[in-house]
Amino acid sequence: MRSNAADFEVIAPQNLKDALAILDAERGVYTPLAGGTELMVAFGAGRLAARRLMSLHLLKELRFLDVTAERVTIGAGVTFTDLRRHPVISADFNLLSHAASWTGSIANQNRATLGGNIVNASPAADSPPALLVYDADVTMASADGMRTIPNSEFHVGYKKTALRPQELLLSIHLKRNYGSYVSYIRKVGTRNAQAISKVAMAGLARLNGQVIEDIRLAGASLRDVPARLPETERALLERSVAHESLADTIARSRASLASGPLAPAPISDIRSTAGYRAAVAANLIDEFLRLLARS
């Protein structure tokens, strides 16, 4: 334990309105604290630079899950366990259920929030690839009101988000459009459970016969932000996964990964190497394409 708890101030507003008023009045002063599974690690290691925190745990307005016929709205304070237990998430957004099931351990899933995972903005985070292929939107709230942007515009750089200092992430929206899609997600970590991702790939595709009508691919640890692979998606659109065409389709997919400004550019770090990540990412996409061929 390398921090002195007495050195830290923590406020805990009782409702969202109060929280936003404080963030507005004192911009950049308070660092939001949700489940704590990220910030408390830093605290224990003596590396939590922020000395003034705002705990969000009392804000019931952040922990909800709304379902309509067309969409699901998930409050930023919803935990990974909440997601795993929700029948509509399991049925309609199973990539998000899967991602939740391998985020940390059960004990961490009981505290970690979807909002925290997104706002923390690690390129290795478990939930963003699923949210990206589902074309999620995110709503941010401030004392002035709310604004909603595509999730794909939320991560603007390494560990940087579109959140303004006076804003909190309020909710994530998913459209219930994917009943006819084939889905794929796989995380490659350092072991089978409780592992930080070395690379992960989420895929969602709609076939017309054996032709790819729509395809979304998103990876973790492939760039400095969680990101879709637009060049590969373009290369795969209208391609066939019929037996005689599959090899060609896979080859085009691989070619697209190798170049272009938005191609994967993974790094070597303490957990894995750039070469390994790039190769495995390509393999995971191939695995998805073979899955499409079989469905």
Partner 1 sequence: MITIKFEVNGCDRSVITPPLKRLLDVLREDLGLHGAKEGCGEGECGSCAVLLNGELVNSCLLPVLQVDGAALVTIEGLADAQELHPIQQCFLEQGGAQCGICTPGMILATHHLLARNPHPSLEEIREGLAGNLCRCTGYTRIFHAVEAASRRIAESA
Partner 2 sequence: MADSMPIEHEPRIVGASPLRKEGRAKVLGEARYIDDIALPDMWFGATVRSSVARGRIVSIDYSPHIPWHEYAIVTAADIPGENTIVHLSKDHPCLAQGQVNHPDEPILLLAHPEKAALHRAVAAIEITYEELPAVFTIEESEAALASGDPARIIWGHGDHANTFKTYVMTAGDPEQSAEIFATADFVIEGEYRTGAQEQLYIENNGVIGEYSPVDGVTVRGSMQCPYYLVHALELVFNLPAEKCRVIQTETGGAFGGKEDFPSVIGSHAALLAMKSGHPVKMCYDRAEDMAGTTKRHPSRTRHRTAVSRGGKLLAGEIEFALDGGAYATLSPVVLSRGTIHASGPYQWPHLTVRAKAMATNLPPHGAFRGFGAPQSLFAIERHMDKIARIVGLSPEEVRRRNFLATGDHTATGQHLVDRVDMQHLLTRALAESNYHEKRERFNRENQDARIKRGIGFAAFMHGAGFTGSGEHRLNSLVEMEITPEGRPRILVSSTEFGQGTNTILCQVAAETLGIAYEEVLIAQPDTRDVPNSGPTVASRTAMIVGKLVERASMQLRATLTASGHFTGGSRNFREAAQRYLSEHGSLKTSARYESPGDVAWDDNTYRGAAYPTYAWAVYVAEVAVDLDTYSVSVTEFHALQEVGKVLHPILAAGQIEGGVVQGIGYALYEKCVWQKGHMANNQMTNYIIPTSADVPPIHVSFEETPCIHGAYGAKGIGELPMDGPAPAILNAIEHATGIAFTEIPLLPEDIYERMTRSAGSGSEDLEPAIAGPYFSEKVY
Task: Return residues touching partner 2 (CB under 8 A).
Answer: 1-6, 41-42, 45-47, 122, 159, 188, 190-196, 267-276, 279-280, 283-284, 286-287
**Which of partner 2, partner 1, none does residue 147 bind (CB under 5 to 8 Å by kind)?**
none
Beta carbons within 10 angstroms of residue 88's beta carbon? 13
Give the phi and the psi of residue 224 in degrees, each rounded to 5. Answer: -80, -5
Q: Is 108 in the site for partner 1 (CB under 8 A)?
A: yes
Give me the 173-192 binding string for partner 1, x by CB under 8 A, dash otherwise.
-------------------x
Q: Which of 10, 88, 156, 255 binds partner 1 (CB under 8 A)?
A: 10
Residue 8: CB minimum distance to partner 1, A:
4
CA distance 225 to 113: 19
Question: Which residue's structure tokens are 């796989």?
Answer: 186
**Which of partner 1, partner 2, none does residue 271 bind (CB under 5 to 8 Å by kind)?**
partner 2
Q: Which of residues 124-183 bind partner 1 (CB under 8 A)?
A: none
Given a contact cutoff of 8 angstroms between Cβ atoms, the answer to whether 128 and 118 are in contact is yes
Looking at the Cβ atoms of 5 and 270, the one nearer to partner 1 is 5
Residue 79: CB minimum distance to partner 2, A:
20
Q: Is 193 in the site for partner 1 (CB under 8 A)?
A: yes
Q: Is 270 in the site for partner 1 (CB under 8 A)?
A: no
- CA torsion sign for 24, 41, 119, 140 is negative
Residue of 288, 120, 271 whose CA lies nearest to 219: 288
Q: DSSP string covering 230-255, please?
A: HHHHHHHTT-B-STTTHHHHHHHHHH
CA distance 100 to 82: 9
Radius of gyration of the chain (CA): 20
Q: Which of 31, 55, 73, 90 binds partner 1 (CB under 8 A)?
A: 55
Q: DSSP string covering 105-146, please?
A: -HHHHTT-BHHHHHHHT-TT-SSHHHHHHTT-EEEEEETTEE
Q: Give the range of 49-57, 116-124, 163-171, 174-182 binding partner 1 by CB under 8 A.
A: 49-57
Give the phi and the psi of residue 282 in degrees, each rounded to 5. Answer: -65, -40
Residue 19: CB minimum distance to partner 2, A:
25
Residue of 276, 13, 3 whose CA lies nearest to 168: 13
Residue 38: CB minimum distance to partner 1, A:
9
**Which of partner 1, partner 2, none does residue 252 bind (CB under 5 to 8 Å by kind)?**
none
Looking at the Cβ atoms of 196 and 217, the one nearer to partner 2 is 196
Residue 173: CB minimum distance to partner 1, A:
27
Q: Is 15 in the site for partner 1 (CB under 8 A)?
A: no
**Which of partner 2, partner 1, none does residue 188 bind (CB under 5 to 8 Å by kind)?**
partner 2
Q: Is 87 in the site for partner 1 (CB under 8 A)?
A: no
277 burial via Cβ count (<10 Å: 0-12, 13-18, 19+): buried
CA distance 165 to 142: 9
Site for partner 1, rule CB under 8 A = 1, 5-6, 8-10, 12, 33, 36-37, 40-41, 43-45, 53, 55, 57, 81, 104-108, 110-111, 192-194
